[in-house]
Amino acid sequence: MNKINVENIIFGSSSNNFYSIKNKRSNKSLKFKLKNVFLPFGLDEEYNNYYLKFELNDNDYEHVEFKNTIHLIENKIMNDFKCTDNELKHVIKKREEKKDLLVCRIKKFKTNLSINISFNDKDNNYLKTIFDINKNIFADIDIEISSLWDFRHLSKEENNIGLIVYISKIHVY
């Protein structure tokens, strides 16, 4: 996994209620690679966006380091944006007696999804798209964090600020 020093993360204004996130040294968004993640549910759609949810294994050092990094980024958001834990919508969902889930959005340009998908078994998965992806599979994924949203001024309820985590590439075993 790519190591990121949280002190090098900067937030910039993008547009109304959205802020860019960049590494100030490279001036690029935050990118991570995770291997051997479990996809229990397949493709989800919510509010005209598509999502994949991946289980993070506490016995995998890379997964634990990624979770720690996300936690540090979320702490930086709470400090820099002066928000509470209740206002922050966490991208890693804690589940009792089950592995934590990472929620990733698939980038869209107009109405087209932008994701690179590949399979170990190319012969049996020829021409498959993200819409054909099954549940209960293992995959390697590339993740990009380039922005966060902040709608706290519209409501005093919970979950009004959070990271946008995109999945840019998935390789299915």
The CATH number that applies at residue 53 is 2.40.50
Neighbours of 9 (CB within 10 A): 18
Provide long-range contacts, Cβ within 8 A and 24+ apart, for 59-63.
Answer: 60/36, 62/1, 62/34, 62/35, 63/34, 63/37
Q: Is 60 helix (H, G, I), strand (E, B) or coil?
A: coil
For residues 48 and 101, give the distance between their C-alpha atoms in angstroms, rounded to a whole number.
21
For residues 89 and 173, give the distance between their C-alpha atoms in angstroms, rounded to a whole number.
31
Domain that holds residue 160: 6-172
Residue with tokens 């009004």: 160
Is residue 128, in this structure, part of any structural domain at all? yes
Query: How long a stretch of residues is the chain?
Result: 173
| Phi, psi of 132, rounded to the nearest 5 degrees | -95, 0
Domain count, the chain: 1
Is residue 1, in this structure, part of any structural domain at all? no
173 residues of the chain, pLDDT tens digit each: 567 788 899 999 877 889 999 999 899 999 999 999 999 998 999 888 899 999 999 999 999 999 999 999 999 999 999 998 889 999 999 988 889 999 999 988 888 889 999 999 888 888 888 988 889 999 999 999 999 999 887 666 666 899 999 999 999 99
The pTM is what?
0.87
